[in-house]
Amino acid sequence: MSLHAPTIEQRLRQSLGDALRLAEPLRHHTTFRIGGPAEYFIAPESPEDMARAMQAAHALGLPVHLVGGGSNLLVSDAGLAGLTVVNRCAAIEFDGRAAHVGGGADYLGFIEVCRDRELAGLAYAAGIPGSVGGAVYGNAGCYGQDIGSRLIEGVIATLDGASVTTQPRSWFEFGYRDSRLKREPHALLSCVIELEPGQRSAIQGEIDEKLEIRRVKHPQWRFEPTAGSYFKNLPPGFQVPGLPHSPGTHRIPAGALLDACECRGLRVGDAMVFPKHANILVNAGHATARDVLALAEIMKARVRERFGVELEEEVMFLGERPDLSAVLGQTVA
């Protein structure tokens, strides 16, 4: 009687159990509602399960892709080979003014938990979609503030799950919409955020104010799929004649250049520039990653030709890049 070696799926299931999924559509896990299937998929809810999943993938020679809340992310139409791990580690504990929070915790939900404990310092970020881990990865911020300035330390794991260490803020090398995690990929299992005493009513007032600003100017991402601001603002002090710097950041907004180039309403397939904000792309129906990438290239070309400025993407792309030549040859609506 011949014996057959177990398949990769069988070996993964031996380690990960029924939590493992095959061909999971990643459009269900991004705020853009775009993305092909993950070859293998799991969404661990504890740091131990996160490490176990990455160890299992490494043992089988599979690449690991990390996803948080799925915002600020565009996934290839071809999907992702290997194991995609969505961080669902969402535990939150407090020690005085320090919050110990899992990387998979919802960012707005975390801000509201802090409000309930009368801890201030993050209400400015109300309405930024995604997870705490994703916010740390991209050093999310607005109005001249960012999450990196409040991080005390983070617990990170290598992508093979073999090494779990606690690193201080300095390790992360935070910059504008940037951190060391982008250059040296690790899983952020949890982190400690420093807050300050505040009054619940005042914190709620700031949350309401920021949510209203976003309601008026931004798409409501739960109903109008988007990845948020697509391009980074220009470096501090960069001058473009006729365009002002944003208060508090000393940066010219990418949206100002895109507005000057009449980008609002541009469309490729079902990827469209949001009518109320030139630096936000939305999925107006059944947009593909290819549609989005082509539209972004057209926008960059307009800014390059008029201002000599090369816009840099803030939205991260995962997976195989498509050939855009056929799409870019089409007429843009």
List the one residue out of 48, 83, 32 whose CA is nearest residue 221: 32
Catalytic residue among 115, 229, 251, 302: 229
| Phi–psi pair at 332, nearest 5 degrees | -90, 130
CATH code assigned to 8-86: 3.30.43.10
Query: H-type helices in 235-331, by residue range?
Result: 254-260, 289-307, 325-328
* Joined tokens for residue 140: 């999310």
Model confidence pLDDT, tens digit, residues 8-46: 999 999 999 999 999 999 999 999 999 999 999 999 999
Catalytic residue among 177, 251, 290, 302: 177
Q: Are 103 and 132 in contact, with CB atoms under 8 Å apart? A: yes
Secondary structure of 168-232 in HEC code, one letter for each residue: EHHHHCCECCECHHHHCCEEEEEEEEECEECCHHHHHHHHHHHHHHHHHHCCCCCCCCEEEECEC
Q: What would you measure as the largest C-alpha separation in the chain, in angstroms?
A: 80
The CATH class, in words, for 92-202 is alpha beta
**Angle, CA 47 vertex, CA 110 and CA 78 arms, to 5°:** 85
List the one residue out of 113, 119, 110, 189 whose CA is nearest residue 157: 189
Structural domain boundaries of the chain?
8-86, 92-202, 220-328
321 is catalytic: no
For residue 136, what is the enclosing H or E element? helix 132-137
The CATH class, in words, for 220-328 is alpha beta
List the one residue out of 196, 176, 174 whose CA is nearest residue 94: 196
Report residue 250 CA to chain centroid gap: 24
169 is catalytic: no
pTM here is: 0.91
* Joined tokens for residue 223: 């109903």
Residue with tokens 């609506």: 333
Output the tens digit of pLDDT for each of the chain's 333 residues.
346 778 999 999 999 999 999 999 999 999 999 999 999 999 999 999 999 999 999 999 999 999 999 999 999 999 999 999 999 999 999 999 999 999 999 999 999 999 999 999 999 999 888 999 999 999 998 888 999 999 999 999 999 999 999 999 999 999 999 999 999 999 999 999 999 999 999 999 999 999 998 888 888 878 899 999 999 999 887 888 778 777 767 789 999 999 999 999 999 999 999 999 999 999 999 999 999 999 999 999 999 999 999 999 999 999 999 988 877 766 455
206 is catalytic: no
Per CATH, 8-86 and 220-328 having the same topology is answered no
For residue 276, the tally of other CB atoms under 10 A from its CB is 11
Please give the Cα distance from 321 to 65 (Å, whole number). Answer: 16
